[in-house]
Amino acid sequence: MPKLIHMYCKAITAVNKALFIAAAALMAIIVPVMMYEVISRYVFHAPTVWGMELAVLLFGPYFLLGGPYLLHLGGHVSLDLFRRRMGPRSGRIIDTFNQLVILIFCSILLYYSTPLALQAMAYRETSFSAWNPPLWPYKFAVPVAVLLLGLQSIAEILRLWMDKSQETAA
């Protein structure tokens, strides 16, 4: 694999791994917030105005920012039953097709989500709840995660066709 391509694949995977770990750490916030909300609601009959909404708002970035590294790990849904029966070249072609479908999906979602995130920031959009937090940081998680997913997909295509160890492993 050429050095520049290797550096790109390694860099984007490292960024996505760091965000994966940071996203996983959000559970350390979400779980106690949900526990506090449940206890205050059902034990003390005094629900919070922010607990459930914070958990929901944090779950979006948790889900989205974990996806790109999960793609690298092969943790997404796949049809391994058919893939195992194919030869190395056919398997790489199918894997490339799958990555191209992901890239098309990412392009469309990035095209539509970026203006919505920018608009939310420009208008200082809030949730209109009693707590009323700003929504733009959460809305920016969508285009950022989709961009990173697309970049990871490109890295996976490059690995499929440039990495010589893939030929012996397949």
Q: Tens digits of per-residue pLDDT, 52-84?
A: 999 999 999 998 999 999 999 888 776 677 777
**Per the structure, how many domains does the chain have?**
1
Residues in the chain: 170
For residues 33 and 48, give the distance between their C-alpha atoms in angstroms, rounded to a whole number: 10
Would you place residue 167 in the very low, low, confident or very high pLDDT band (cuts 50, 70, 90)? low
Please say whether the beta carbons of 1 and 162 come within 8 A: yes
Structural domain boundaries enclosing 22:
3-169
**Is the per-residue pLDDT at 107 higher than 70?**
yes
CA 112 to chain centroid, in Å, comes to 17
Q: Specify the pLDDT at position 166.
A: 57
DSSP 105-166: HHHHHHHHHHHHHHHHHHTT-B--SSS--B-HHHHHHHHHHHHHHHHHHHHHHHHHHH-THH
Does the structure show a pLDDT above 60 at 168?
no
Q: How many CA atoms lie less than 13 Å away from 115 in the CB half-sphere?
A: 4
User: Is it the case that residue 47 has pLDDT exceeding 60?
Assistant: yes
Give the mean pLDDT of 137-156. Answer: 96
Residue, of 3 and 167, whose pLDDT is higher: 3
What local confidence, expressed as pLDDT, does residue 70 receive?
Answer: 92
Q: 88 is written with which tokens?
A: 């190395």
pTM of the model as a whole? 0.86
